[in-house]
Amino acid sequence: MPKQFDLLIFDWDGTLMDSAGVIVDSIQRACEDIGQPVPSDRASRQIIGLGLIQALQTLLPELPDDEYPRLVERYRHHYLGRDAHIPLFAGVVSGIQQLHADGFQLAVATGKSHHGLGRALEVSKLGPWFSATRCADQTHSKPHPAMVLELIDELDADPARTLVIGDTSHDLLMASNAGVASLGVTYGAHEPDDLRPHTPLALMDSFAEVHAWLNANA
């Protein structure tokens, strides 16, 4: 079968790195630290994928503006103490290397900060395999299409031959807003029922399934 896609744009947290649980716990601890009600796991997972400030404003819309910097500081305190030890999902290292060897251009679009993604790419040793990245502090946050459109422009790619792979409704809506295809993964932050309304080409239950699907269909 001829290749359908040239550019694969991966989300990071919950798609390549098994970080959703740590993010949720860090959000909950941060809220507790500043005396706010602790949000549920479900509510905390729903805002994963957004830029940090947007995520916290979405989760706690009634919080006074001058309290967000303290909440951000407490979130970073809890998350950064553990982020160097968060594992990639099984099969990610070999899968990403193989996709690169197969001739795909690979990119990352993430709600992480540029500094945070740089640290994650260094620790995971995946940096050399990605041609470009976009982070929430560099452009508009998901689900705005800017990350995808900027990556397409930077890499001189064809939108019709671009595929976004992510674990949240924010990822899939970003793809839809950019006019590109998407693939949803169910092993990260959002439930399958959150992903289906955004019409991904398929839903995958593990990174091994993602890699197999790309080998067979991409």
Cα torsion angle, 114, 139, 182, 42, sign:
positive
Name the one residue in this structure whose structure tokens are 């500094």. 115
3-state secondary structure of 143: coil
137 is catalytic: no
* Catalytic choice (13, 167, 171, 194): 13
* Gap between the Cα atoms of 116 and 120, Å rounded: 6
Angle at 136 (CA atoms; ends 53, 56), nearest 5 degrees: 20
Burial 160-191 (b: 16+ CB within 10 A, else e): ebbbbbbbbbbbbbbbbebebbbbbbbbbbbe
* Catalytic choice (11, 83, 167, 171): 11
**CA dist 22 → 17, 87, 151, 172 (Å):** 11, 11, 28, 22
* Gap between the Cα atoms of 59 and 37, Å rounded: 11
Cα torsion angle, 137, 143, 148, 149, sign:
negative
DSSP β-ladder status, 162-166 and 203-204:
unpaired
The answer to whether 166 and 147 have CB atoms below 8 angstroms apart is no
167 is catalytic: no
Report the catalytic residues.
Answer: 11, 13
